[in-house]
Structure 1
């Protein structure tokens, strides 16, 4: 099984350190989300994985070999870093054919990837007239020409409509289910929450987290809070506060309670005869967890009103 191994990776441009002592692996059979604030070093790291930038220190291997040592790289790793990197006057078919021929791949692979990405109907159209979503599909088709076991995508859903986003999400999941190692960077937390199995989070070029999605969210829960709905919110709020809980008003008859478990809240309400219509532990979203974890690594902080 082929995986990506990043070991002690460091990249400096003059006095600026963009990536510092970064280590992680991208395992086959899962989608690894690569997250970080703007300027965190994600794109630079991806370029070093692909041999497009030389590390100052450390190493990256794909299936145990450096990218430069792969005899036919497209058969080992496919990457989409810029969907706009296509000759606009070429048809989709000719674009893919040129890539296939230059990598010694058979013509039948062009037909295969056009079919897999749903692009047979536009194969004869010029890429310059494609929508962003179709350019993304063309770029993904190109990554699959060599049937590689490793796929890398940099912000693949930026600017897409809901249909395009859903297609790419399902497509990346299908690639992982086939046993491929899939590395995806994105700023859309809601999409990563539905796509990634594992997360690698960096900030200012350093590793912040390398963990499974469920573990990442669980670690962000802390004491958590509980959503409580009752027709007697004022009465219950007083009793909860007296018991040591922190209570905030929600919408309508809802309370947000922290410092007590849902079980203890239920027992207290039952003891005092306060009826409850909802008692739900609140889970942080991936966006909430990400923002909390990276708040000290954001390069530019905006002012809040």
Structure 2
């Protein structure tokens, strides 16, 4: 049975969420919402507090302060949680000696769900052909699919996935992308964390970005890119050093690119062209370069990295 879409209905509500381990604050006064009918990308550097936040949403960790509700209720107050929210936080959390079918059957039975749901989710995740194989024989990618199947057993309206594309090949990654979007089209709320920015750019409708446990951005994907992703312009000329000085004087930010090119931000291609014409500078290339989600993410979270490697 497909869930009916209810535009604007908030399915996960995080308010003032804080988690401390001794003197260390892992999640710091975090507030955001995850709404039905869209995929919300949950982004942040390693150690930002994403996994801890997800664990608090599903009651695996207790908040030090603040609250999390799912459809207005705390997770622990849900009568049959698997029918309200499905979560994949660790694809390895499966009994390796059980077949895929019996792993799902045990979950269904322990949650009072009908046996038919096992066959239905196996089909939906493309695993019916390996239902009789033991989970311990699966690749990480297949265990990810098995974990996703488990989240769907109760036909929940809220789904949470922590790094679901780990271990997947390119075909599997594309499948995950299309699958997440199909869940959102059914009216479900989908919260997904990932380090693959290129996939998030193609999958997420909304972004929640955190750094060191604090909220950095909570906005739609298009608004996020418009506000932060002004991009750069690639410029080539016979005397790049001289033109770089003129660009800097005009207020642009200039850095050296490959093969004696200039990478310019803070000015549009049209403005750069007019400046070159005014000074009689011949340009052999003037190419606007749109910023990627990865570029914007790295710029936005640069102050929130605990570890930064040196660059050549």
CA gap 1:255/1:154 in 2 versus in 1, 3 angstroms: same
Q: Which runs of 5+ in 2 are unaligned?
A: 1-8
Size of the aligned set, in residue pairs, is 301
Secondary structure of 1:61's match? strand
Secondary structure of 1:284's match? coil
1:88-109 CA distance string (max 9 Å, x none): 1111111111111111111111
Report the CA distance between 1:112 and its aligned residue: 0.7
**Aligned-residue CA RMSD in angstroms?**
2.3
Report the CA distance between 1:76 and its aligned residue: 0.5
Counterpart selection for 2:70 from 54, 62, 73: 62
Partner of 1:81: 89
Counterpart selection for 2:303 from 280, 289, 296: 296
Counterpart selection for 2:152 from 144, 163, 176: 144
Superposition map of 1:1-305 within 5 A:
1=9, 3-221=11-229, 224-228=231-235, 233-234=237-238, 238=242, 241-242=245-246, 244-245=249-250, 246=252, 248=255, 250-251=257-258, 254-268=261-275, 279-305=286-312
For the 8 Å contact 2:240–2:260, the answer to whether it is kept is no
For the 8 Å contact 2:208–2:219, the answer to whether it is kept is yes
Secondary structure of 1:281's match? strand
TM-score between the two structures when normalised by the length of structure 1: 0.90
Q: Which runs of 5+ in 1 are unaligned?
A: none
For the 8 Å contact 1:48–1:54, the answer to whether it is kept is yes
TM-score between the two structures when normalised by the length of structure 2: 0.88
Q: Which moved more, 1:243-252 or 1:153-162?
A: 243-252
CA gap 1:166/1:268 in 2 versus in 1, 3 angstroms: same
Report the CA distance between 1:228 and its aligned residue: 3.8
CA gap 1:256/1:61 in 2 versus in 1, 3 angstroms: same
